Amino acid sequence: MNLYRDNPRVKVMTYDTSTVDFAESVGARFILRGIRSINDFENEKTTADINRKLSGVETFILFTEPQHRHISSSIVRELLKFNKDISDFVPKETNLY
């Protein structure tokens, strides 16, 4: 991502294991998650509790700004799939076109 390109503390990595297993494999002690609604909170809280119990990895939750609550990665992927303009839904630094 261009937004954090010059920040040496930020890495973008992919994985094919559970998130908590990946976190442990790279020595991460924390997971940062964003939520948009109370439904997101319930799901993330359950997952965070399980991750803490399994590994001790803590989860921190950030709340979405109200003007961005309607945006989701699923919607952005759907728009991209059909070659639609996503500029209103992603930061300017990360536009893919």
Would you state the pLDDT for residue 1? 44
Look at the chain and report how many structural domains it folds into: 2
Would you state the pLDDT for residue 51? 94
18 and 40 housed in the same domain? yes
Can you name the residues that pair with 61 across neighbouring β-strands? 33
**3-class state of residue 93 by DSSP:** helix
83 and 94 housed in the same domain? yes
CA–CA separation, 71 vs 40, rounded Å? 13
Comparing CA positions, the residue from 13, 40, 37 lying closest to residue 27 is 13
Q: Which domain holds residue 25?
A: 1-64
Q: Which residues are CB-neighbours of 25 under 8 A, at least 6 positions away?
A: 15, 17
pLDDT in tens, the chain (97 residues): 467 778 888 888 899 999 999 999 999 999 999 898 888 899 999 999 999 999 999 999 998 887 777 888 888 899 999 999 998 888 776 444 4
CA–CA separation, 10 vs 7, rounded Å? 6
79 and 52 housed in the same domain? no
55 and 11 housed in the same domain? yes
Per-residue tokens: 6? 């010059």
Task: Tell me whether residue 19 is exposed, middle or buried, using C-beta atoms within 10 angstroms of its C-beta: 0 to 12, 13 to 18, 19 or more.
Answer: middle
